[in-house]
Amino acid sequence: MNLPKHVLSNPWQALRGLTQARIALGRSGVSVPTSAQLDFQLAHARARDAVHMALDAGALAAALSGDGHACLTVHSACPHRATYLQRPDLGRVLDAPSRAALAAAAPASCDLVLVIGDGLSALAIEQNAQPFLAVLLARLQQEQWRMGPIVIASQARVAIGDEIGELLNARAVAVLIGERPGLSSPDSMGIYMSWAPRVGLSDADRNCISNVRPAGLGYDEAAYRLHYLLTQARQRGMSGVSLKDDTVADAGALTAGKGNFLLR
């Protein structure tokens, strides 16, 4: 990268092409260059916008229904975004109308319920949820998984999936949720899987797959990992710290040609 004449280069300049991290920006006097400062401010604004952006649950439900999936929309106990940001505990539980609606629609039992929650980045859900589900469900359809309805939850935190899974009599729940935006990743989606979901589970009872997006963990690899975890959870009757993700060691077909540049 060619820097302006008034900007002094950094010895790490060659590494900038290998990471989105803000390294080797150079300097102008004792400050960072103006272009780097403006890029930082833009990234910060995008992260803030992602946090406050509202998920169009109706449009997402219509799109998934158009793909042939049964969908339900629910809401947490947070009445609006300001409360959601100040009261994480209310984002972990359903409001009363949603609880009643799920109880009325609950199947006798099912193997898996997929929950889509806005979390801290509705942008991540808008961009990643539907294409990821297409890849995942194509895998699950090759096996005998009794699927519950896809539940779209607004003002949701991760733990809301446990209550949803319990109300829908699911053996497992997987929550797709917008992750806290970073300065280079306002569109990152996380996936949290719990076996035997019920109110009161802790983070130690869940398996997490993070940074699902085209510029991070691709849909194919994320679906591969979640499918593995679901299969192992069903076989062993467990999730969380008791269930290890061994796909990193045996996912050569998905990661061919990739590697850690620091180890080359």
Which residues fall in the annotated binding site for adenosylcob(III)alamin? Answer: 158, 179, 208
Phi-psi label, residue 240: left if phi above 0, alpha if psi -120 to 50, beta otherwise: left
CA-CA-CA-CA dihedral for 178, 194, 116, 164, to nearest 10: -130
Rounded Cα distance, 26 and 33, in Å: 7
**DSSP 8-class letter at 20:** S
The DSSP letter of residue 148 is -
Give the 3-state secondary structure of residue 175: strand
HSE, side-chain direction, 13 A CA sphere, residue 158: 20
**Sign, CA torsion 247/252/253/256:** positive
Contact 219/212 with Cβ under 8 angstroms?
yes
Count of residues for the chain? 264
Q: In what order do the strands lie in the sheet with 71-75?
A: 71-75, 150-154, 110-117, 170-178, 189-195, 206-212
Q: Is 81 helix (H, G, I), strand (E, B) or coil?
A: helix
Single-letter amino acid, residue 258: K
